Amino acid sequence: MKSAISSTTTLLSSKNLSLKLHLNHSPFSRLPSFLFRSKSNSHLPSLLLRNNSTHNQKSQIHTPIMASSFMPEQARTPPALPLPVPPVTKFKIGLCQLSVTADKERNIAHARKAIEEAAAKGAKLVMLPEIWNSPYSNDSFPVYAEDIDAGGEASPSTAMLSEAARLLKITIVGGSIPERSGDRLYNTCCVFDSDGKLKAKHRKIHLFDIDIPGKITFIESKTLTAGETPTIVDTEVGRIGIGICYDIRFQELAIIYAARGAHLICYPGAFNMTTGPLHWELLQRARAADNQLYVATCSPARDVAAGYVAWGHSTLVGPFGEVLATTEHEEDIIISEIDYSLLEVRRTNLPLTKQRRGDLYQLVDVQRLKSDS
């Protein structure tokens, strides 16, 4: 395809984030597009053949090119950070798959009860679904939106999350709620530590604008504004990258989080009855396996009478792409263990970071590059 041979392809961009995959010309233009063009024609993407003239002129020895000549460290710019030592090796995560109604006060009280139940079962990290305090609709977002920065009465949902985290001494990835900031609305996830402090705020970067004729049409950009910043946060249960629902479709964001040393990526999400059966588990396992880290998702429970019907199936996936825990579509609280020692095990089993072809491709974390300069 023509797009596969352009000199620079912009994969993901925003005010503060633009990921560029540098493709350079070589004689291998007829290879599949994922084998992008080589920086050096001397490095073939295959094994070199060498004749052994001393012993047998007919025999051929397959000699692998040294991995170092592939410049794997240059496949990420700036170079990937080493995986940090986490504050804990093992802990329990709680995924609260909640029913959501038009009653905001009820939704807040119901979420708090689920958080308390998960903590009582030993969860040190509790996660809520996408848009858990409001119906999922463009009509509802402006009505239910809260001023998170103002806090207090202006944001009763986050006030509850902060208090629950402080009282229960847990970390909360607070799903997402509609946020009002000036004259703009965002789909926003807040992360609170065990002191109740707001540690991070992620605004959904990729808005859910899709049209599948006869199945589903939803245009989030009618009311919402896209976020401009990837979010990675150090918590008492490790370094966590945050994405919201549609963000999971963009592997570049997950790669950025992995290169910044994430142990876990959390995606509160609400896939629908069309894309959910096909892609929900597939994307989670792909993000986890490709980046060799944990992926956790949390969906609202399914309500067939709602205007938007969620798929459900909240899930925890391990660094080998294995489903560790999941559920169906009803309300549920999943409790499962995360063991970070498996990250190094899997990265030793499959040493992908040492096998990348920095001589062929490069992913640029523009935000980090600018901050380092």
The catalytic residue positions are: 130, 204, 245
Q: Residue 9 in 3-state DSSP?
A: strand
Cα 353 to chain centroid distance, Å, stands at 19
Helices (H) and strands (E) in the chain, counts: 7, 21
Q: Residue 183 in 3-state DSSP?
A: coil
Q: Which two tokens stand for residue 69?
A: 């000549």
Query: 142: which residues sit within 8 A by CB, 6+ positions away?
Result: 178, 180, 185, 223
Nearest to 8 by CA among 77, 72, 59, 71: 77
CA torsion sign for 149, 154, 157, 162 is positive
DSSP for 214-243, written as a single string: TTEEEEGGGT-------EEEEETTEEEEE-
Give the total residue count for the chain: 373
Q: Which two tokens stand for residue 94?
A: 């709680």
- Residues in a beta bridge with 233: 240
Q: Residue 11 in 3-state DSSP?
A: strand
Distances (CA, A) of 187 to 98, 207, 223: 18, 9, 10
CB 202 within 8 A of CB 243: yes
Q: Residue 198 in 3-state DSSP?
A: strand
What's the CA gap between 185 and 204, in Å, rounded? 11
Instruction: Please report where in the chains the tokens 């009820």 appear, as a residue.
Output: 106
Helices 156-168 and 104-120, axial angle in degrees (round to 10): 20
